[in-house]
A and B are shown apart, each in its own frame.
Chain A
Amino acid sequence: MPERGFATPGFLALALFGSLATAFLVLPLAILCVQSFTAESYLSFPPPSFGLRWYRTVLADPEWRQAAQSSLTIAAIVTPLSLVVGTLAALGLDRGPMRGRNVIYGILISPMILPHIVLGLGLFRIALDLEIDDSLWSIVPAHLTITIPFVVISVGASLQSFDVGLEKAAQSLGANRFRALWHITLPIIRPGLVGGGIFAFIMSFDEFIITYFLAVQTRTLPLEIFDSLRYQVSPSIAAVSALTIAASAALTVALILRGQVMAGGRIVQ
């Protein structure tokens, strides 16, 4: 095939379409972020004057602080639990018998495709019967149902390219199965673990629908944003949103940098 430049009409059309789509996705976020720096008491674009007023308000507000704290707490419990359970499940699927593998995999990741409203309703029923609604005892397991699939997929993908011969080599050198896993497998599939962990954290931190079913007194950040939107649209919401976006973006950048570190550094095979 002859080499072709990037200036073909088809390529330009594609580039234009891509740019428009990206702008459509990013612009609302950008506008929101700009608005959050308003010094006025109402939302407008562009803001007549800029300041950190609403950030100060939000960071000082006990309700926002409380909500942020419960969201962080929940995510901080959910993330390691998802990693342990999801990694064990991925290992079991990878090493276990072929029979039934696809079925079990399908069941494990089904919460990803189930509508969250259905999932939330089901979990709500169970939590009511067990009288654990409106507590970490129901919210954490509920979040796990949606975060574990991400870990299973991410770790499972890493295991696909992992050479089981390395574990055998470790065993022949005197490592039992656990130590082989700990010293050899886990370090090598670390990109999958980190990726799955970050996904799990973001999914839990962002989760709205299922939590909405279960929480009454408990306020998470997404619930708080939703509630405050219902009564008033104050610039504080823009500030909270901007902070959330910044945190998510920071995590994502960390993820990408991590991937580059892994690919460009030691693991070259």
Chain B
Amino acid sequence: MTAVALDGVVKRYGGVTAVDGIDLQVGKGEFLTLLGPSGCGKSTTLQMIAGFVLPSAGRIRIGGRDSTRLPPHRRNVGMVFQNYALFPHMTLADNVAFGLRMRGVAKAERRRRAGEALAVVQLTGLADRYPGQISGGQQQRVALARALVIQPDVLLLDEPFGALDKQLRDRMRIELRDLQRQLGISLIFVTHDQEEALSMSDRIAVLSEGRIRQLGTPDGIYRRPANRFVAEFMGHSNILPARVVEASGDRALVRAGGLLLAVSGRLSAGGDIELMIRPERIGIGPADAGAAIRGRVAGMQYLGASLHYRVVVEGGTELSVVTPDPGEGRRVPGDPVALAIPDGAPFVIGS
């Protein structure tokens, strides 16, 4: 079952194409993230689903109903805004009950269901406060409760954690994911933070310039990017141009600078490809004469839990390497080192 379906959705603003033909299905109970850099059309897409922006072309179905031209109040869509948009002149209970009031639910029933929703987000006891009297994290939860209480066909969140500090953000991530699973909500989440996307989503749609560049599970997108844009956007990566030296079946030997690496994929000898190796997949150790790949540390960044080395290998290629911090025996710039690139670590982009 699909909760939301976008079919060839386009939005143009004068000469600017904000959204350039998006096809997307969000399943019932699915957590889908729209991920992409600033200006790629994430918010515009969300606004079209919510009904605040009319698509220039394409169709939108929500809960099995063609909603392309339906005004926002006739769609059953919950929305959490980045600044929460809580009504300052109403108590938290009245904020949460607002959607029910608009649906003509009787007062006692409203009060009861608003209380339940506040309990779900662990705010029981604050029902009679005003939004100005609670913290940012609490406001966030009220906004969530307010959108959930109407039992929307889909819940839309546009960078909802942007205004929270790192710790609170991490906690809200877990809470939102748990809540979404527990209540079986269909949810579209917008962010430009790849870590946020990877940690919460069932599926991620990576957008750039108004198009979906790849749609898949977090694991699939991180480990098997469909193109260079996705490879680079999803965290650190070493991207190396390479040439196929030898190919047989779905195995091949490629040369990237001074490196000779085995990869999988149906390739033809002599072809040019792009290779991606995630920095955390590369092993680093003391230089020894027998090592296949030798190099020299060009720089080291301390990241707390891990160390980020830049290593120049024979042939001049520079590789990023991330390893857990061993505490002692860190390498310093100038140290000779040996690198190990295990089988399966190099990935041919787009294969």
Tally of chain B residues near chain A (CB < 8 A):
27
Chain A interface bracket (under 10, 10 to 19, 20 to 34, 35 or more): 20 to 34
Contact flags A149-174 to B (C-beta < 8 A → 1, else 0):
00000000000000101101111111
The stretch that binds A, out of B26-34, B85-93, B179-187, B306-314, is B85-93
Contact flags B42-80 to A (C-beta < 8 A → 1, else 0):
000000001110000000000000000001110001110
* B81–A269 CB distance below 8 A: no
Taking the complex as formed, is A135 at the interface, i.e. its CB lies under 8 A from any CB of chain B?
Answer: no
With known contacts A165-B83, A269-B132, A173–B88 Cβ distance under 8 A: no
* A266–B88 CB distance below 8 A: yes
The residue on B at minimum CB distance from A165 is B85
Contacts of A268 in B (CB 8 A): 88, 130, 132-133
Taking the complex as formed, is B279 at the interface, i.e. its CB lies under 8 A from any CB of chain A?
Answer: no
B residues with a Cβ closer than 8 A to A are 50-52, 71-73, 77-79, 81, 83, 85-89, 98-99, 102-103, 130-133, 146-147, 150
* A174–B150 CB distance below 8 A: yes
Contacts of B71 in A (CB 8 A): 171, 176
B188 to chain A, nearest CB (A): 13
Contacts of A175 in B (CB 8 A): 73, 98, 102
* A169–B73 CB distance below 8 A: no
With known contacts A266-B130, A268-B130, A268-B132, A174–B99 Cβ distance under 8 A: yes
Complex Cα gap A252–B50 (Å): 44
Complex Cα gap A166–B52 (Å): 13
Contact among A176, A179, A188, A267 with B132 in the assembled complex (CB-CB below 8 Å): A267
Complex Cα gap A165–B147 (Å): 14
Taking the complex as formed, is A187 at the interface, i.e. its CB lies under 8 A from any CB of chain B?
Answer: yes
* B88–A168 CB distance below 8 A: no
* B72–A168 CB distance below 8 A: yes
Complex Cα gap A170–B98 (Å): 8
Contacts of A183 in B (CB 8 A): 98
* A174–B102 CB distance below 8 A: yes
* B87–A166 CB distance below 8 A: yes
* B85–A166 CB distance below 8 A: yes
Contacts of B131 in A (CB 8 A): 269
* B85–A168 CB distance below 8 A: yes
Complex Cα gap A171–B146 (Å): 13
Complex Cα gap A175–B78 (Å): 12
Taking the complex as formed, is A184 at the interface, i.e. its CB lies under 8 A from any CB of chain B?
Answer: yes
Contacts of A170 in B (CB 8 A): 87, 98, 102
Contact flags A175-187 to B (C-beta < 8 A → 1, else 0):
1100110011001
Contact among A169, A180, A184, A266 with B81 in the assembled complex (CB-CB below 8 Å): A169
* A269–B88 CB distance below 8 A: yes
Contact among B77, B83, B130 with A172 in the assembled complex (CB-CB below 8 Å): B77
Can you name 8 extra interface pairs (CB under 8 A) apart from A170-B87, A171-B72, A172-B72?
A166-B87, A168-B72, A169-B87, A170-B98, A173-B78, A173-B150, A174-B103, A269-B131
* A163–B50 CB distance below 8 A: no
Residue in B50, B85, B130 whose Cβ sees the most chain A Cβ within 10 Å: B85
Contacts of B72 in A (CB 8 A): 168, 171-172
* A173–B85 CB distance below 8 A: no
Complex Cα gap A268–B132 (Å): 5
Contacts of A180 in B (CB 8 A): 73
With known contacts A173-B146, A266-B89, A266-B130, A179–B81 Cβ distance under 8 A: no
Q: Can you list 26 A-B contacts (CB < 8 A)? A: A163-B83, A163-B85, A165-B81, A165-B85, A166-B85, A169-B85, A169-B146, A170-B87, A171-B51, A171-B71, A172-B72, A172-B77, A172-B147, A173-B73, A173-B99, A179-B102, A183-B98, A184-B87, A188-B87, A188-B88, A266-B89, A267-B88, A267-B89, A268-B88, A268-B132, A268-B133
